[in-house]
Amino acid sequence: MAMSGVVAVCEPAFWAGFDRRHPETFIDYFAQISEFEPTRAAEFGIRHYCWVAVNPKEAENKELTNEVLRQMPEFLEKPTCLGVGETGLHKSTPNEIESLQAHVEMAMKHDQLVLIHTPHLSDKAHGTKTVLEVLAGMDVNPDKIWIDHVEEQTIEPVLDAGYWAGMTLYPVTKCSPRRAVDILEKYPRERLLVNSSADWGPSDPFTLQESIVEFRRRGHSLQAAVEIYHNNPCRFLGQNPKWDIKPITISEE
Partner 1 sequence: MLSPQKTLDTYYLEARRDLLEVAAMLDRYDEAVKRDGAKAENESKKVSLLGAMEILAQPEHPNANRAEQLLNHFAKIT
Residue 217 as a binder of partner 1 (CB under 8 A): the answer is no
Q: Rank residues 35 and 204 by Cβ distance to partner 1 and give the closer one.
A: 204
Q: Which of 24, 133, 143, 185 binds partner 1 (CB under 8 A)?
A: 185
Strands ordered across the beta sheet of 145-147 = 8-11, 47-52, 81-88, 113-117, 145-147, 164-169, 192-196
Q: Rank residues 4 and 153 by Cβ distance to partner 1 and give the closer one.
A: 153
Q: Which of 172, 219, 251, 252 binds partner 1 (CB under 8 A)?
A: 172
Q: Of the candidates 166, 139, 153, 154, which has an alpha carbon nearest to the alpha carbon of residue 233?
A: 166
Q: Which of 173, 200, 217, 222 binds partner 1 (CB under 8 A)?
A: 173
Residues 6+ apart with CB under 8 A from 82: 10, 49, 50, 51, 112, 113, 237, 240, 242, 243
Rounded least distance, CB 116 to partner 1, Å: 23
Q: Identify which range of 1-9, 108-116, 131-139, 175-183 contacts partner 1 by CB under 8 A.
A: 175-183
Residue 153 as a binder of partner 1 (CB under 8 A): the answer is no
Residue 176 as a binder of partner 1 (CB under 8 A): the answer is yes
- C-alpha to C-alpha distance for 250 and 253, rounded to whole angstroms: 7
Residue 188 as a binder of partner 1 (CB under 8 A): the answer is no
Q: Rank residues 143 and 156 by Cβ distance to partner 1 and give the closer one.
A: 156
Entry field: residues in the chain: 253
Rounded least distance, CB 172 to partner 1, Å: 5
Cross-strand partners of 106:
none
Residues 6+ apart with CB under 8 A from 235: 247
Q: Which of 178, 189, 220, 242 binds partner 1 (CB under 8 A)?
A: 178
Q: Identify which range of 3-11, 35-43, 79-87, 180-188 contacts partner 1 by CB under 8 A.
A: 180-188
Residue 156 as a binder of partner 1 (CB under 8 A): the answer is no
- C-alpha to C-alpha distance for 237 and 234, rounded to whole angstroms: 5
* Cβ–Cβ < 8 Å for 169, 208: yes
Residue 232's SS3 state is: helix
Q: Identify which range of 60-68, 173-181, 189-197, 234-242 contacts partner 1 by CB under 8 A.
A: 173-181
Q: Rank residues 25 and 221 by Cβ distance to partner 1 and give the closer one.
A: 221
Q: Which of 182, 189, 240, 245 binds partner 1 (CB under 8 A)?
A: 182
Rounded least distance, CB 158 to partner 1, Å: 19
- C-alpha to C-alpha distance for 49 and 191, rounded to whole angstroms: 20
- C-alpha to C-alpha distance for 61 and 67, rounded to whole angstroms: 10
Residue 165's SS3 state is: strand
| Interface residues toward partner 1, by CB under 8 A | 152, 171-173, 176, 178-179, 182, 185-186
